[in-house]
Structure 1
Amino acid sequence: MASPGERAGEPSDRGRPVNDVQLSKFLSYICRHGAEKKGLTVQEGGYINVDDILELREARKNGYSVSDVQRVVANYPKQRFSLRSKPNDDGKLQICANQGHSLEVKGLDLVPILRPEEAPVVVHGTYRRAWEQIKKQGLSKMSRNHVHFAAGLPGEDGVISGMRSSCQILIYIDMKKALEGGLLFYRSANNVILCSGDENGFISTKYFEKVYDITKGVKLDY
């Protein structure tokens, strides 16, 4: 299946080519961070009416249509979005981001991870420039609601999202220790593992199992 980057000139129903990468980034911003700033209503599960999004100035300027949104959701390899028919309203479409929110969202489709064996690999990808700070304070959710982890390395079976393939540092979590320490982990609809951290939004280095610099092929101390 083609990725958005391979369909950058797809014709729109409104008569002009649509850049699917640009549309995907626009949808990510709206669904994860900007809906309330744009005056949109975020419903249970993080769903937003597609028609309302398409009435925004940026959407009208770029000529986005419902079929454009459907195509991007269907083709995006990381499966960052879900679509549904609006309950009790003539089947109108709604969209949500599967994870990555800074918005407070009620009823997001997340499955709790209660035992270590339910998530044998939990790994966070980052960059060398961030490692010294992480080594001092642990992982931070920063402006988002959760720290994001992959259930394996990019390209492995079932791993479609959770980290960028360009990451230089891999931080593996000791799930037994982390769960016993009271941290809460969830699995999103697109198999990203999420954790909000402690009361301050941090995951301490004491819950790290191992850390690798994969560009240098060395294990890191912390």
Structure 2
Amino acid sequence: MQLNEPLQKKLSRFMALILRHRPEVIGLELDHEGWCELQVLLQKIQKSSPTWRTLNEENIRQVVENCNKQRFTIKNGRMRANQGHSNKNVEVQFSKIIPKQNLYHGTSKRAWQKIQSSGLLPMNRHHVHLSADIKTAVKVGKRYDKNPILLKINIEKALADGIQFYISENNVYLCEHIPADLLEMCTDK
């Protein structure tokens, strides 16, 4: 099967749905860290829709390699999403890290109202996602608001308060919660 760019995006989104949130959509079972056999994933996707009937392993590898967000990892014939899980049966173990630079979070003006009192919460995911650069945080925020709010995390105080940071295989910084008093609105967009 030849995957043009629109089909690559469609497959990437479908795999993100399956591997992050709802593997049952195609009858797939993930292990406790979100892994599944690549060949089983391929077979289940092929059976899920006529669009994917002729999908092959090379197509999946192409999507994994071409995904600028590096959402997925393939190792030893197995595959998983790198982060962003909401599936309660999956708990990916991430490497702990002490950030050496500023971290940012892009959000909408509407969400900012709640964030000011509750801080950054993972919502329906396992972790809050943070970016090491402003450009990425703004891009993420633009998914929710064409003029997003950019938040800067006070790393020094967060570490002093015992906030634990993690990093995913695709270099997304993660934590369980950032209290509101550790957030500063940033104008460096």
TM tier, smaller: 0.7 to 0.9
Deviation at 1:67, TM superposition (A): 1.2
- Distance in 1 (CA, whole Å) between partners of 2:6 and 2:130 is 31
Match of 2:155 among 175, 179, 182: 175
Counterpart residue number, 1:136: 117
Opposite residue 25 of structure 1, the aligned amino acid is R
SS of 2:84's equivalent in the other structure is coil
Counterpart residue number, 1:22: 10
Deviation at 1:80, TM superposition (A): 0.9
Higher helix share: 2
How do 1:23-38 and structure 2 match up within 5 A?
A: 23-36=11-24, 38=26
Deviation at 1:147, TM superposition (A): 0.5
The answer to whether 1:66 aligns with 2:66 is no
Counterpart residue number, 1:105: 90
Counterpart residue number, 1:96: 80
The answer to whether 1:82 aligns with 2:73 is yes
* 4+ aligned runs moved over 4 Å, structure 1: none
Counterpart residue number, 1:88: none
The alignment's C-alpha RMSD in Å is 2.7
TM-score, normalised relative to structure 1: 0.71
The answer to whether 1:207 aligns with 2:182 is yes
- Distance in 2 (CA, whole Å) between partners of 1:17 and 1:125 is 27
* Structure 1 residues 186 and 150, CA gap change in structure 2 (3 angstroms): same
Counterpart residue number, 1:164: 140
The answer to whether 1:187 aligns with 2:167 is yes
Deviation at 1:47, TM superposition (A): 1.2
Opposite residue 22 of structure 1, the aligned amino acid is K
The structure whose Rg is larger is: 1
Cα displacement string for residues 69-99 of structure 1 (whole angstroms, at most 9, x for unaligned residues)? 00000111111111112xxxxxxx3211111
Question: Structure 1: which 5+ runs fail to align?
Answer: 1-9, 86-92, 198-202, 218-222
Match of 1:151 among 125, 132, 148: 132
Counterpart residue number, 1:7: none
TM-score, normalised relative to structure 2: 0.82
Match of 2:29 among 18, 41, 46: 41
Counterpart residue number, 1:3: none
Question: Structure 2: which 5+ runs fail to align?
Answer: none
Opposite residue 46 of structure 1, the aligned amino acid is G
Deviation at 1:105, TM superposition (A): 2.7
- Distance in 1 (CA, whole Å) between partners of 2:180 and 2:84 is 22
Deviation at 1:38, TM superposition (A): 4.3
Counterpart residue number, 1:200: none
Cα displacement string for residues 14-41 of structure 1 (whole angstroms, at most 9, x for unaligned residues)? xx99711110001101110112564422
- Distance in 1 (CA, whole Å) between partners of 2:152 and 2:28 is 37
- Distance in 2 (CA, whole Å) between partners of 1:140 and 1:106 is 17
Identity across the alignment (%): 31
- Distance in 2 (CA, whole Å) between partners of 1:163 and 1:101 is 20
* Structure 1 residues 130 and 18, CA gap change in structure 2 (3 angstroms): closer
SS of 2:134's equivalent in the other structure is coil
